[in-house]
Structure 1
Amino acid sequence: MQGIKLFGGAARANWMRGVATWIAGLAVAATFAGCATINTSAAPQLSRTESWAVLPIVNYTETPQAGMAAEAITQSLLTSSGFTQVKRYPANLSRETLVEPTDRASIDRALDWARKENVKYAVSGAVEEWRYKVGVDGEPAAGVTLQVIDVQSGAVVWSATGSRTGWSRSSLSSVGQKLIASLIAPVTQ
């Protein structure tokens, strides 16, 4: 009795092509894992040693305190990137609560505070999405817009907007942190 060749000739070539196709499919899936879309303007040279402030990030979502979460992440990322003088606006200047989102007037009040504190640059923005998607997998999704403002003139010197999703096992805060880190990368590098 002769042994059976499991992988001989054409059968082996077909099997190898199938494995190669499967591996290529995994590579494509890994590439698009946690898909992100980011648009950013060119960042001017901004000093890390100047005084910076994180102003209100307006929450346009249905998720309570999403703007405050984005503010905390932004402040932490700036500080960990070597920005030595990062201030946070006083809590009484923001109206964000569990049921009422921050309004644009709070940004104006915070900008006035920053001028009185002699802050050079301020980061502000908006959260457009901060949730787990409804469905079988419940993927986390975040959408954020950030801008750097020259406090004295009120001019926007840099801006970026983006969105990112993660896998169903990802946390919303990690997706938000990755998105915000990608958005401010031109400023922090």
Structure 2
Amino acid sequence: MAYSTLRFMLCALLIGMLAGCSLSKLSWSGLFGPSQPSADARWALLPFVNYTDQGDADEQVERMITVLLPSNGIRQVNNFAKPAGNKEASFVNEAARLQNAKAWARKKAFDYYLSGEITEWQRGEENSQPVVTLSLTITSLADDDDEVIWTVSGTGTGKPGDTVYDTARGLLNTLMSSMPKVSD
């Protein structure tokens, strides 16, 4: 019994050392490839696809992200203008709006765009908790090829009495803190 425990501990130690060696070579800058974008790279914020019944959730998230991006080194951000007129929120309209925004980003020759999805946006009642689930994706437009270089998703749960806005802002702060920093 003591021999098998010792053997297990040695294997665990060896695996830990090997994992430490391989993790020490990881670098966030590798996510952007050999040419990490500078702070002067051109970024577009595309409309978020809103799969919830809360019609303004996408606009709220987009406003929060616009405020948070400079803390990640992104100085030049252009938002895709929401077309006037059709206010009907349907999955078909959301998908068409996203495709139009992607075409706009390519036409305007942006270097990167940030997009995402909102899959849950529950306002907390007096005794319930607000819940927000969303994802963020950074796509590179280098070489006329849309290449996803970073994506993250998560769920945030507030405390009873918290607003869904505060819950979403906390979740976005957490998710965007994992975003690779842009070099100056």
Normalised to the residue count of structure 1, the TM-score between the two structures is 0.68
1:96-150 CA deviation, whole Å, 9 max, x = no partner?
x36545522211110111112221110111101112246x512111000111111
Does 2:130 correspond to 1:140?
yes
Which residue matches 1:167? 159
Matches within 5 A, 1:24-39: none
d(CA) in 1 for partners of 2:51, 2:163: 20
| 8 Å Cα contact 1:53/1:86 also seen in 2 | yes
SS of residue matched to 1:92: coil
Does 2:103 correspond to 1:112?
yes
Q: 1:49 aligns with which of 40, 45, 53?
A: 40
Q: Decide whether aligned partners of structure 1 residues 133 and 56 sit closer, same or farther in structure 2, where only a CA change above 3 A counts.
A: same
Which residue matches 1:86? 77
Which residue matches 2:60? 69
| 8 Å Cα contact 2:49/2:117 also seen in 1 | yes
d(CA) in 2 for partners of 1:64, 1:185: 27
| 8 Å Cα contact 1:58/1:127 also seen in 2 | yes
- Bigger fraction of residues in strand: 1
Runs of 4+ off more than 6 Å? none
SS of residue matched to 2:161: coil
Q: Decide whether aligned partners of structure 1 residues 93 and 115 sit closer, same or farther in structure 2, where only a CA change above 3 A counts.
A: farther
Question: Between Structure 1 and Structure 2, whose CA radius of gyration is higher?
Answer: 1
Counterpart residue identity of residue 132, structure 1:
R
| 8 Å Cα contact 1:65/1:98 also seen in 2 | no
Which consecutive unaligned segments of at least 5 residues does structure 2 have?
1-27
1:46-73 CA deviation, whole Å, 9 max, x = no partner?
5232111110100001111211211111
Which residue matches 1:14? none
- Bigger fraction of residues in helix: 2
Q: 2:178 aligns with which of 169, 177, 186?
A: 186
d(CA) in 2 for partners of 1:112, 1:123: 14
SS of residue matched to 2:109: coil
**How many pairs does the alignment contain?**
146
Q: Identity rate of aligned residues, in percent?
A: 25
d(CA) in 2 for partners of 1:52, 1:94: 26
Normalised to the residue count of structure 2, the TM-score between the two structures is 0.70
